[in-house]
Amino acid sequence: MTLTESLPILVIIIPLISAIIIPLIGRIDKSIAFAFVISANFLSFIISISLLNTVMETGRISYWLGGWEPPWGIEYVVDYLSGFVLVIVSFIAFIISVYAKKSVEMEVEGEKILPFYSIYMLLVTGFMGMIITGDIFNLYVFIEISALAGYALIAIGKKRAALIASYNYLVLGTIGATFILLGIGYLYMATGTLNMADLRERLPMLYDSKVVLTAFAFITVGLSLKLALFPFHIWLPNVYNHAPSVVSALMAATSAKVIAYVLVRIMFSVFTMKFDLEVVPVTKILLFLSVIAIIAGSVLAIAQTNIKRMLAYSSIGQIGYIVLGIAISNQLSMTGSLIHLLNHALMKGTLFLVVGAVVYKTGMEDISSLKGMGKKMPFTMAAFTIGALSMIGVPLTVGFVSKWYLALGALKAGMWFLVFIILVSSLLNAVYFWRVIEGIYFHQKPKVRSQKSTTKDSIESLKPEIQNQDDAPVGMLIPTLILAGLCIVFGIAAFIPVSVVTPIVNMLLEV
């Protein structure tokens, strides 16, 4: 077997082995460990690009673990959809790892920094495994790997409230995982197979089986809880608010996207369009929940005074956009939904990296802490403004592209009222983001808080650099500007992601 043929397994092995090696080489030099994290994530990104390029040129890639032919053995699969999501997740993981050094040194205790990076790589391993596996039980294993790593990363920071947030996430995440595992068990009981492609062939003759219907219901509920789809969202605001900034950025930009990918994979690759539209009313239920999520997330975001919490509620609304396109289930809406996997990763990644830079400079997370920052941190605040305008859906930004396709899909489906929902949500987004932008550029800068005024739940120590009247450190600024720049690049050159997504949509909808 050549190295090229082994790329599907390497995209998982590299971050997994890195998680083991990092604590060992960190004993020699922590800076080497940090460089190793960046290198491993960059290599995973390059491999992901290679896999997507291969799929686009030659078609689906199948890798059999141990040489065992599926459905008896575990199969790793790279098709248009998994290749596209692999590139998104590996790129975001790489960009955030470049950004992480100073932020992690400030928000995580010194002796926990090496374990932090090790668990970070385990989280990436879980995400990559969820995307590439073609075995539904193996999917559950990777879901749990990512979940356990996520619980630890949330709790590893200096905030005491992070422990409670992590515990609540653990409880609800375990409930979601239990539903998923039960659903997988029922599918195996009904079909005798765990391979997703094999399940797709065997399930149609069992669509009237109560066991299969129960399995689908359990898996959908479990994934909705993991996705934080309204009303299963209650764990998300505290997690994004109290986790270290790097963790908030990574989870906001990737976690929901990976779970949304899994939902799409189950609905359209394991089951079929006929099942989703005719056998069970899942699309109608998802449509109802997504509309509520879009409006409720935006309304709740307006009421927040903490910037991380505001962005968390905003994410609930954005998750609604992704699910909305899935629920409408036509070519235009699915294009909007899948493009939003990329676009939301760029937008929300940008915004959380900006917030992390502000926390690094001021030690504060309140919206009021951004007042006057337009002069103090001009490039960082420019990135925030681009991310905010993208979230609103201003033309020439990625957010506009997503909403445009979703609106066209709604019109094609005869659901004109959904266009009104999208417009109202955009206006609500403008309300809560404009108050932040207004404070950034049209108010006096706040006084930098001293160490004596730091509360118990705030960061315990402030580095001397925080009090400098300059922009974020270069290592934090460049990754932020890259993500912000891509919000414009893919907003103007939307044909690039659309050209990748179009064959994915055709594959899923069997066009």
Q: Which residues pair with 62 in a beta bridge?
A: 77
For the chain, the average pLDDT equals 84
Q: Which pLDDT score is estimated for 184? A: 92
**Mean pLDDT within 53-78:** 80
β-strands 61-64, 75-78 pairing: antiparallel
One-letter amino acid identity for 315? Answer: S
Q: How far apart are CA 450 and CA 462, in angstroms?
A: 8
Helix intervals (H) in 156-244: 161-191, 196-202, 210-227, 236-242
pLDDT-derived band of residue 443, with 50, 70 and 90 as boundaries? Answer: low
Q: Which residues pair with 76 in a beta bridge?
A: 63, 133
Quick one: 418 exposed, middle or buried, by C-beta within 10 A (0-12, 13-18, 19+)?
buried
Whether residue 71 has a cis bond before it, omega within 30° of 0: yes
pLDDT-derived band of residue 4, with 50, 70 and 90 as boundaries? Answer: low
Q: Is the predicted pLDDT of residue 350 greater than 50, yes or no?
A: yes
Q: How far apart are CA 145 and CA 77, in angstroms?
A: 19
Distance of alpha carbon 141 from the chain centroid: 19
Q: SS3 of 393, please?
A: coil
Whether residue 231 has a cis bond before it, omega within 30° of 0: yes
Cβ within 8 Å of residue 22, ≥6 positions away: 33, 36, 37, 114, 117, 118, 121
The candidate with the shortest Cα–Cα distance to 276, out of 263, 288, 289, is 263
pLDDT digits (tens, 9 = 90+) for 213-254: 899 889 988 998 888 888 877 888 888 888 888 888 898 888
Contact between 480 and 383 (Cβ < 8 Å): yes
Q: SS3 of 49, please?
A: helix
Q: How far apart are CA 311 and CA 315, in angstroms?
A: 6
Q: Which residues pair with 366 in a beta bridge?
A: 306
Task: Provide the residue ranges of all domains of the chain, joining segments of one domain with +.
Answer: 281-449+467-511
Q: Which pLDDT score is estimated for 364? A: 77
Q: How far apart are CA 464 and CA 397, in angstroms?
A: 36
Percent of the chain with pLDDT over 70: 93
Widest CA span in the chain: 69
Q: Is the predicted pLDDT of residue 411 greater than 80, yes or no?
A: yes
Contact between 252 and 320 (Cβ < 8 Å): no
Quick one: 200 exposed, middle or buried, by C-beta within 10 A (0-12, 13-18, 19+)?
middle
Residue bearing the bigger pLDDT, 451 or 154:
154
Phi, psi dihedrals of residue 108, rounded to the nearest 5° = -125, 140
Q: How far apart are CA 207 and CA 271, in angstroms?
A: 9
Q: Which pLDDT score is estimated for 467? A: 47
Q: DSSP letters of 400-451?
A: HHHHHHHHHHHHHTT-HHHHHHHHHHHHHHHHHHHHHHHHHHHSPPPPPPPG
pLDDT digits (tens, 9 = 90+) for 136-146: 898 999 999 99
Q: Is the predicted pLDDT of residue 455 greater than 80, yes or no?
A: no
Quick one: 485 exposed, middle or buried, by C-beta within 10 A (0-12, 13-18, 19+)?
middle
Cβ within 8 Å of residue 21, ≥6 positions away: 36
Phi, psi dihedrals of residue 461, rounded to the nearest 5° = -140, 140
Q: Which pLDDT score is estimated for 164? A: 86
Other CB atoms within 10 A of residue 496 CB: 12
Q: How far apart are CA 99 and CA 432, in angstroms?
A: 26
Other CB atoms within 10 A of residue 315 CB: 29
Q: Is the predicted pLDDT of residue 92 greater than 90, yes or no?
A: yes
Q: Is the predicted pLDDT of residue 347 greater than 70, yes or no?
A: yes
Q: Which pLDDT score is estimated for 445? A: 56
Q: How far apart are CA 428 and CA 448, in angstroms?
A: 31
Q: What's the DSSP call for residue 133? A: B
For 484, the enclosing helix (H) or strand (E) is: helix 474-492
Q: Which residues pair with 195 in a beta bridge?
A: 135
Percent of the chain with pLDDT over 90: 16
Contact between 45 and 101 (Cβ < 8 Å): no
Q: What's the DSSP call for residue 395? A: T
pLDDT digits (tens, 9 = 90+) for 9-62: 888 889 999 888 888 887 777 778 888 889 999 999 999 998 888 888 887 888
Q: Which pLDDT score is estimated for 444? A: 64
What global pTM score does this model have?
A: 0.87
Q: Is the predicted pLDDT of residue 454 greater than 60, yes or no?
A: no
pLDDT-derived band of residue 379, with 50, 70 and 90 as boundaries? Answer: confident
Q: How far apart are CA 144 and CA 174, in angstroms?
A: 9
Residue bearing the bigger pLDDT, 468 or 89:
89
**Mean pLDDT within 415-429:** 88
Taking the chain, what is the end-to-end CA distance rounded to the nearest angstrom? 35
